[in-house]
Amino acid sequence: MNILITGCNGQLGNEMQLLEAQNPQHTYFNTDVEELDITDRETVGAFVEHNKIDGIVNCAAYTAVDKAESNAELCDLLNHVAPGYLAEAVGRRGGWLVQISTDYVFDGTNHTPYTETDDVCPNSVYGRTKLAGEQAACAACERTMIIRTAWLYSTFGNNFVKTMIRLGREKSELGVIFDQIGTPTYARDLAVAIMTSINQGVKPGVYHFSNEGVISWYDFTKAIHRLAGITTCHVRPLHTSEYPTPAARPHYSVLDKTKIKQAYGLEIPYWEESLQECVSQLLG
């Protein structure tokens, strides 16, 4: 197949590129904004047609959650409008789209893991635009697979793990929120799941993916410091109310992964095992 990867310079896009060498049966077109402006409908259509694209993995997104509150138009263009263009273009060729979405489509008031059939109720610009992107993609291409993920990190780009290692080395004390509960996702594990779905055949619908287990941001930070050998920084728990942000965050966003595990026979690693792998690579 000819497969287009958008957002190839991001965390997930970089991880996808690492897996391409292991799956040489496909031809990959790795693009970021310099190579392909996914907000330009005609450009997207021409690229997909010219390169005979059979499938698209859309890793591109506006992910600055707080900035989105004051930059709603650009956020909507990238997260809502662009996925619709990609879906429309590949749909005309009878192809498929894997659209990456987020736990932010939920308001975080659940007390049990969210399933794909739970009611969506985003309470931030980011969450609303990502949900709109899901809907636009599914409406334009019947072979659309939505994968909602959460707390993404990797050895690439800027993310929570790298920030906490840097701050842990710089500061003697750090306050981290303890009353927001979820599950981290190692971007490499998500990339493996996406590649598995491509090779087994993309099955349309909404799926959830994160690592296994449940944790708070505070506990996650403690684990990061322990694995990175940081012992001189005291981490103290904060309430969300002590750290106000422009965008509301879900207090509980644990995702139920049963559907994707059954659909593709996946065994998903426990969050701490994947974190250990990532930290080991970062410390090199």
Provide the annotated active-site residues: 126
Report d(CA 95, CA 204) in Å as an integer. Answer: 11
Cα radius of gyration rounded to whole Å, the chain: 19
Dihedral sign for Cα 80, 160, 206, 96, please. Answer: positive
Which residues have a Cβ under 8 Å from the Cβ of 192 and sit 6 or more positions away?
19
Bridge partners, residue 205, by sequence: 145
Asked if 92 contacts 56 with a C-beta cutoff of 8 angstroms, the reply is no
Spatial distance between the Cα atoms of 84 and 38, rounded to a whole number of angstroms: 10
Residue 116 CA to residue 105 CA, distance in Å, equals 11
List the one residue out of 51, 46, 36 whose CA is nearest residue 1.
51
Contact status, residue 210 vs residue 255, Cβ threshold 8 Å: yes
Q: How do beta strands 181-182 and 215-216 pair?
A: antiparallel
